[in-house]
Structure 1
Amino acid sequence: MIVAEHFGFVVGIDTHAKTHTLAIIDTPTGGEMANETFPATTTGGNRALSWILRCTGASAEQVLLSMEGTGWYGAKLRQQASDAGFQVTEAPVPNQRLGRYEGKSDSIDATRAARTALSIPTNRLREPRSRKDHMALRILSNARRTMVRERTAAINALTALLRIVDLALMPECR
């Protein structure tokens, strides 16, 4: 069963630091019902979730949220939506081989996030990354990057020292 057969509506969400843009797609027709931008705050998230329910007239279980940035800018909204009973999935990555689409805006990105999810089998939906796991990996990656940078700097300093200063390590011939 694909998403369009299982859910009545798919909401694409393009997340940013200050705002989140949502686009509601009616799955039977594939048509866009509404498109709106909300502040990326707890209050803005509550307003966005209420807006979804009001526009669709459906229960949270009948709506799939296809969200970009579930582990970063959209983490707070993802948690609010999950707590409210919505199923949230990581938005599919656009196919880069098809080239860049015409135009670029938050509204277009939100609509694309919803429409690309319509044909995905429900058992293949991507679970949003856990915030704790995501943060732990980010910390480990940054620590490794820092250690590599420091190691390289130490090697370069020692190499420069050996080239500049005669340390008399080799015995002189007499």
Structure 2
Amino acid sequence: MSSLTDLTDLREAIDVVIGVDTHVATHAAAVVDARTGAVLEQITVEATAEGYAELVEFADAHAVLRMWAIEGTGSHGAGLTRHLSTLEEVVIELDRPVRAKRRNGAKSDPLDAVRAAREALARPRLGTPRAGHDRQALAVLVAVRRSAVQAAADARRQLFSLIMITPEPLRARFRGANGMGLVRIAASLRVQASWDIETTITVTALRSLARRIKDLTDEAEVHEKAIAQIVRDWRPDLLAQPGVGPITAAIVLCAWSHPGRVHSEAAFAMLAGVA
């Protein structure tokens, strides 16, 4: 069953495809005959551990030779995908499409589950879900570091803008400084009793922004060190490539995920946006 992604016709290897339309609270599933495309049975379960177990029992009532076609394996379907992985079930990843408009705005999750199964049968090349463990740990760290970096950049822009309108002679303290120098000066400011309300509030805001920038910068550095450690343990050869640091290596590994996910150099070039 591990060679399913190499087949040109799934009907050669399986009896049924179980399409799953995933959502935050529930998952709709449909068992579709691999040879005829007929819908054999449908079910909707809660997106919980109990619901996942119920879904596997539902699948066990049908053919043993089966494959799961799941939408959103990295989002709403992540829990189900992990559950099936521990059971060594074969899972195919489907991109969540833009839903076609239905009459009166109606939506049918069971129909979307059927469509997912039939789409898997029709595809000439199948995609496997992204790997977990090291890859998922990197993805989490990259995302949270990016958030800290972006928030720090926003705070630096706010700090600079506030300095530009700071009353004299307070503004004079910042002349000649830039970058983190501005942050250090702002963080060292102290409110004086003789100041008017405008100057007092401005200094309080400058200190708050400076401390926020420092905390976010420190947080980003901690995440980068953790990213670097995982990359060194997993694929240290990437760090030996010219121009590849821990963050670039982590982004590459998250996109690549595992052997077989990207079927050719051309496909990886398309994924990287350098085709």
Q: Aligning the two structures, in what range does the TM-score lie when normalised by the shorter sequence? A: 0.7 to 0.9
Task: Please state how far the C-alpha of 1:101 moved relative to its aligned partner.
Answer: 4.5
Q: Find the aligned partners of 2:148 and 2:128 in 1 and give their Cα distance.
A: 27
Letter of the 1:126 counterpart: G
- Runs of 4+ in structure 1 off by over 6 angstroms are none
RMSD of the alignment, in Å? 2.4
Give runs of aligned pairs for residues 14-25 of structure 1, distance below 5 A: 14-25=21-32
Q: Which moved more, 1:9-18 or 1:151-160?
A: 151-160
2:41 aligned residue = 34
Query: Where in structure 2 are the equivalents of 1:115-134 lying within 5 Å?
Result: 115-121=118-124, 124-129=125-130, 130=132, 131-134=136-139
Q: Distance in 2 between matches of 1:134 and 1:34?
A: 36
Q: Is the 8 A contact 2:71 2:77 kept in 1?
A: yes
SS of the counterpart of 2:17? strand
Change (3 A) 1:117 1:144: farther
What SS class does the counterpart of residue 118 from structure 1 fall into? helix
**Which has a greater percent of helix?**
2
**How much has 1:33 moved relative to structure 2?**
1.4
The 8 Å contact of residues 10 and 65 in structure 1, kept in 2 or not, is answered as yes
Q: How many residues align?
A: 158
- For 1:116, what is the secondary structure of its paired residue? helix
Which consecutive unaligned segments of at least 5 residues does structure 1 have? 170-174
More strand by share: 1
1:65 equivalent in structure 2? 68
Whose relative contact order is higher, 1 or 2, with alpha carbons under 8 Å and at least 6 apart? 1
TM-score normalized with structure 1 length: 0.76
Q: 1:111-133, CA deviations, whole angstroms, 9 ceiling, x for partnerless residues?
A: 22212111223xx3222123334
Distance 1:144 1:67, change over 3 A: farther
Segments of structure 2 that go 5 or more residues without pairing to the other structure are 1-7, 176-275
Please say if 1:2 is aligned against 2:9.
Answer: yes
The yes-or-no answer on 1:143 pairing with 2:144 is no
Judging changes above 3 Å, is the alpha-carbon distance between structure 1 residues 157 and 15 closer, same or farther for their aligned structure 2 residues? Answer: same
Residue 100 (structure 2) pairs with residue 100 (structure 1): yes
Asked whether the equivalents of residues 72 and 96 of structure 2 are also in contact (C-alpha less than 8 Å), the reply is no
Give the direction of change, closer, same or farther, for the CA distance of 1:136–1:155 in structure 2 (3 Å limit).
same
Residue 154 of structure 2 aligns to which amino acid in structure 1? R
The structure whose Rg is larger is 2
Q: How many Å separate the matches in 1 of 2:108 and 2:138?
A: 30
How is 1:71-82 mapped onto 2 (pairs within 5 angstroms)? 71-82=74-85
Per-residue deviation, 1:37: 0.7
Q: 1:73 to 1:2 in 2, by over 3 A?
A: same
Deviation at 1:76, TM superposition (A): 1.9
- 2:87 pairs, out of 84, 94, 106, with 84
* TM norm structure 2: 0.51
